[in-house]
Amino acid sequence: MNDEIVGIDLGTTFSLAAFVRNGKAQVVKDTSGNSLIPSIISIHADGSVFVGTEAQRHCLTDPEHTIFSIKRLIGRTLKDLEKDLPFIPYQIRENIRDDGRTVLTVKIGDKDFTPEEVSAIILGEVRRLAGNPTRAVITVPAYFDDSQRQATRDAGKIAGLDVLRIINEPTAAALAYGLDRKRNGTIVVYDLGGGTFDCSVLSIADGVFKVLSTNGDTHLGGDDFDHAIIQHVLDDKLNIKTKLDARAIAALKLEAEKTKRNLSSNDQAAFNLDSLPTLGTTPLEITKENFEHKIIPLIERTITCCKKALKDAGIKTTSVDEIVLVGGSSRVPLVQKMVQEFFGKKPLTSINPDEAVAIGAAVQGEILSGKRK
Ligand SMILES: Nc1ncnc2c1ncn2[C@@H]1O[C@H](COP(=O)(O)OP(=O)(O)OP(=O)(O)O)[C@@H](O)[C@H]1O
Ligand SMILES: [Mg+2]
């Protein structure tokens, strides 16, 4: 039996697990060395279930049986989701259960699944890759309410996990950097993920974190950077004005994401049209300069959120002791530059920004087990 405590970051776009072993944090990797599991599932009429990378492939070929971004639905009602509905491509229903509770379900093929059940399938895969531990610490956004936290707990239970603690993602990120060892101070956690942006202001007093304020945008993240590249390709490079079908849009998105990642470490990157032969044959060159020009307004929106969070916490930028960058999109060099300029201080970036939250959850597990020195 595996009685280690696993830390799990259940993300909107990616999920992953980590352990602290002999005082050292390590993320769980699959056989190809990937730690990030796409938070996507795909269920078919013949009963076959795909999770993660396998399910991602089905996004293109079988969108009706593929579900992503389930985190946006967990613990919510239709009324909560009014603003989100235009972004959700799958069918959602609201059902009143025997106990009077309202639950949402998503339709996959001819079956209905609750967000807890879908999340449990993702957690089950994370758990399997982690060697089937039974005890877990799972992270949630700081703004999650009781219902969203409880639903996340329930998802863990369905996946066979004893959820010892649900902790806030920004707190986990701060724990990953060992900031709980600081006696006192103010920490800003800037988390730019795939679909969402969160800025949290935390205080630390005698090793205990408190969330002073949060601000953010539930529709701002790496997806928007991808869209900026797609728009650049269609408008400036190919001059295509006609509407494309869902399959072409999905293929463009996959390619844009690849190009974007390359632009984090290169001044230019190719945008291949192999999967889109109707649009052209020769690969396009996208420059970092053009990409950055397109995303400045998006990054400015994140800075506006930071300003609001600081104002609500009654904190000036000069009183911030540490800035922690998390979320895969904080790898974009211009993001780091603009954050540093705003706070007038170099943010902490030494831990992989898409692994920090899972590592912090594992550190919390180590604390709970009494093994932390
Ligand atoms: N090297 C890179 N350069 C630019 N973007 C990157 C890089 N690596 C990952 N990303 C982007 O990071 C995003 C995923 O970030 P992350 O794993 O933090 O998301 P998440 O936590 O699942 O989502 P959310 O925070 O919205 O819940 C994706 O948009 C991905 O394209
Ligand atoms: Mg995240």
Q: How far is the CA of 325 from the centre of ligand 1 (A)?
A: 12
Residue 74 to residues 94, 141, 240, Cα–Cα distance (Å): 12, 12, 38
User: Is residue 80 in a domain?
Assistant: no
Q: Which of 329, 336, 352 has most ligand 1 atoms within 8 Å of CB, for mutation? A: 329
Do residues 272 and 361 share a domain?
Answer: no
Q: What number is the average pLDDT over the span 170-197?
A: 95
Q: Please state, rounded to an integer, the average pLDDT across all residues of the chain.
A: 94
Q: How far is the CA of 45 from the centre of ligand 2 (A)?
A: 31
pLDDT on residue 97: 82
Does 62 participate in catalysis according to the annotation? no
Do residues 152 and 218 share a domain?
Answer: no
Does 71 participate in catalysis according to the annotation? yes
User: Is residue 214 in a domain?
Assistant: yes
Catalytic residue, chosen from 117, 180, 191, 292, is 191
User: Is residue 90 in a domain?
Assistant: no
Q: Which atom of ligand 1 is nearest to the CA of 192?
A: 25
Instruction: For residue 288, give the ligand nearest its CA.
Output: 1
Q: Which of 143, 191, 354 has most ligand 1 atoms within 8 Å of CB, for mutation? A: 354
Which pairing describes strands 133-140 and 162-168: parallel, antiparallel, or unpaired?
parallel
pLDDT on residue 329: 98
- Does 14 have pLDDT greater than 80? yes
pLDDT on residue 134: 97
- Does 63 have pLDDT greater than 80? no
Do residues 296 and 213 share a domain?
Answer: yes
Determine how many CB atoms are found less than 10 A away from the CB of residue 86: 8
Whole-angstrom Cα distance, residue 274 to residue 279?
9
Whole-angstrom Cα distance, residue 210 to residue 161?
27
- Residues facing residue 212 across a β-bridge: none
Q: Which atom of ligand 1 is nearest to the CA of 14?
A: 22
Enumerate residues lining ligand 1, CB below 6 A: 11-14, 36, 193-196, 221-223, 257, 260-261, 264, 327-329, 331-332, 354
Do residues 129 and 243 share a domain?
Answer: no
- Does 249 have pLDDT greater than 90? no
Q: How far is the CA of 193 from the centre of ligand 2 (A)?
A: 5
Q: What number is the average pLDDT over the span 59-83?
A: 87
User: Is residue 103 in a domain?
Assistant: no
66-75, 113-122, 169-178, 283-292: range with lowest mean pLDDT: 66-75
- Does 200 have pLDDT greater than 80? yes
Instruction: For residue 228, give the ligand nearest its CA.
Output: 1
Do residues 150 and 206 share a domain?
Answer: no
Q: How far is the CA of 354 from the centre of ligand 1 (A)?
A: 7
Residue 225 to residues 7, 177, 191, 242, 339, Cα–Cα distance (Å): 29, 27, 15, 22, 17
pLDDT on residue 279: 86
**49's tokens:** 């279930």
Q: How confident is the model at residue 65 (pLDDT cuts 50, 70, 90)?
A: confident
Does 346 participate in catalysis according to the annotation? no
- Does 62 have pLDDT greater than 80? no
pLDDT on residue 102: 83
User: Is residue 20 in a domain?
Assistant: yes
Do residues 335 and 361 share a domain?
Answer: no
pLDDT on residue 323: 98
Contact present, 195 and 302 (Cβ < 8 Å): no
- Does 202 have pLDDT greater than 80? yes
Neighbours of ion ligand 2 (CB under 5 A): 11, 193
CATH number at 147 reads 3.30.420.40
Give residue-wise pLDDT tens across range 284-298.
999 999 999 999 999
- Does 177 have pLDDT greater than 80? yes
Residue 36 to residues 16, 167, 241, Cα–Cα distance (Å): 5, 20, 35
Do residues 288 and 234 share a domain?
Answer: yes
Phi first, then psi: what are they for 145, rounded to 5°? -90, 180
Q: What number is the average pLDDT over the span 317-330?
A: 97
What sign results for the dihedral spanned by CA atoms 192, 198, 199, 205?
negative
Give residue-wise pLDDT tens across range 100-151.
888 899 998 888 999 999 999 999 999 999 999 999 999 999 999 999 999 9
Q: How many domains does the chain have?
A: 2
Do residues 243 and 310 share a domain?
Answer: yes
pLDDT on residue 109: 83
Do residues 334 and 260 share a domain?
Answer: yes
**Percent of the chain at pLDDT exceeding 70:** 99
Do residues 327 and 303 share a domain?
Answer: yes
Q: What number is the average pLDDT over the span 335-358?
A: 97
Q: What number is the average pLDDT over the span 306-335?
A: 98
pLDDT on residue 90: 82
Q: How far is the CA of 196 from the centre of ligand 1 (A)?
A: 9
User: Is residue 38 in a domain?
Assistant: yes
- Does 45 have pLDDT greater than 90? no
Q: Where in the sequence is the domain holding 46, given as residue range(s)? A: 2-70+121-170+357-368
Do residues 137 and 226 share a domain?
Answer: no
